[in-house]
Amino acid sequence: MASNSNNFISYSWKNEALVDEIDNYFKRIGIIFIRDKRDLGYYNQISGFMKRVRDCDYLLMVISADYLKSRNCMYEIWEFQQEKNYEKRLLPVRLEDAQDILTKEGQIKYIRYWENEAAKAKALLNKIDPLNAKELIEECRIKERICRYIGEFLAFISDLNHPSFNELKAQNYRPVLDFIGYQNAGQLAELLEIGDIASFEEQEIQLDQFSDKYGKTSDYYFMRAYIAAENNNFKIAKYNYDEASKINPDSCEVHYNLAILLADPFNDYDEAKSHYLKALKINPDYYTAHYNLAILLEDHFNDYDGAKFHYLETLKINPDYCEVHNNLALLLADHFNDYDEAKSHFLKALKINPEDCDVHSNLALLLADHFNDYDEAKFHFLKALQIGPEDSSIWCDLGNVLDNLNQFPDAIDAYKKAIEIDPNYALAWYSLANSHMQTHNKDLVKQFLQKATEIDPSLKETAKADEDFKEFWDDDILK
């Protein structure tokens, strides 16, 4: 079974599909790479993520033409090179369009590219008042650093006996396993090959042959479990994870995967909790285990203190995890009444990912409900709707905020938009009726209130307790 080493993949986002393929290969044997797709929040937090690269055990570098022209990728490597003996932790994998780095001519091409990029940044800086150029000054420094090391870096890479991606794949990623130093790397490579077989029946045959050859190892059971889960054979998956755990009780990956399975679809939350805790005892820095355990404790145990603890532990290890900031903010607001801290975490989430619709919407609700800051709430609802314009609930919530701002025509338009998206949205009809009270159009109020209560009869009692609808309390529509 895979060790608990801290492994990164460095790559250009333009090569994401290929990296997904590599990532999915290694998941089959319990190896999880840290990569920006799931471990980085958003572009403006990338520098913090890059500094974490320096602390990794091994770095798998997927080199392409796009990679060598990416400011982020080159800065990531610059960070990594600041560590002693970095070359012993670096495994480059070359894509076909980066073959030219093996030649002096190709290396010169990339050196000139970065010299030009640095010159353009410097020229732009010279046009700006230094008092207004803090970010651009830092950008110039980064590109100058890249210029200074790119030649040495390319020469070093070209001298390494590094595989191309096609060569690596043909060997079932054996060079990666050998480089990182996993025990039984040959067996793991064979299991990776089995995992890549399209036919489930053929996989079963190959796994039987594997067990005849090596015995029923923990890795064997883990692969059986993974394949079974992929095919929705959950009982078989559970059995095999259990067997893997018996053989190798110190594998945090087995406990982690088993915990996920026990929670869904088996709904065995006590056992799921137990296995998350075992995974964390083995590897206290397994932040996805902290995160999943926090969700489990919050949703199924009402253990809000425990959930808060594990959300915070996740953020200690990975402070740029947008979803954790969002979940923690909701927890703090709903169960601790700590609205200031909740607001702080929503804002941190948006700093990481300014395009997260849910966070904008959640922050807007908090601002409206607990800070009475309707203008700022309106801003965040509108931002959320720019990102997700087909969310009827956000349109309805925006309408409520506009009502509080006495912007009744705009509120009515927002409710109508919510109803256009979801004609059976009872609360939107109810709110539309309420908003029309301000226009003194009682016929429309009655029409919309009747529609709301037809869809959701429980709203009759809500209306009877609502002073705004007092004149309709004895009306037939509320009986």
Q: Is residue 20 part of a domain?
A: yes
Per-residue pLDDT tens over the stretch 14-23: 898 999 988 8
Global pTM reads 0.79
Q: For residue 2, what pLDDT is reported?
A: 47
What integer best gives the mean pLDDT of the chain? 90
Query: What does the block give as tokens for 345?
Result: 């975490």
Distance CA 319, CA 127 (A): 36
Q: Is residue 292 part of a domain?
A: no
Domain count within the chain: 1
Q: Is residue 111 part of a domain?
A: yes
Q: Is residue 160 part of a domain?
A: yes
With a cut of 70, say whether residue 72 has pLDDT above it: yes
Strand order in the sheet with 58-63: 7-10, 58-63, 90-94
Q: Is residue 63 part of a domain?
A: yes
**Domain containing residue 125:** 7-178
Q: For residue 440, what pLDDT is reported?
A: 82
Q: Is residue 36 part of a domain?
A: yes
CATH number, position 46: 3.40.50.10140
Q: Is residue 145 part of a domain?
A: yes
Q: Is residue 318 part of a domain?
A: no
Indicate the pLDDT class of residue 438, thresholds 50, 70 and 90.
confident
Residue with tokens 């055990």: 57
Q: For residue 36, what pLDDT is reported?
A: 63
Which of the pair, 344 or 33, is modelled with greater confidence? 344
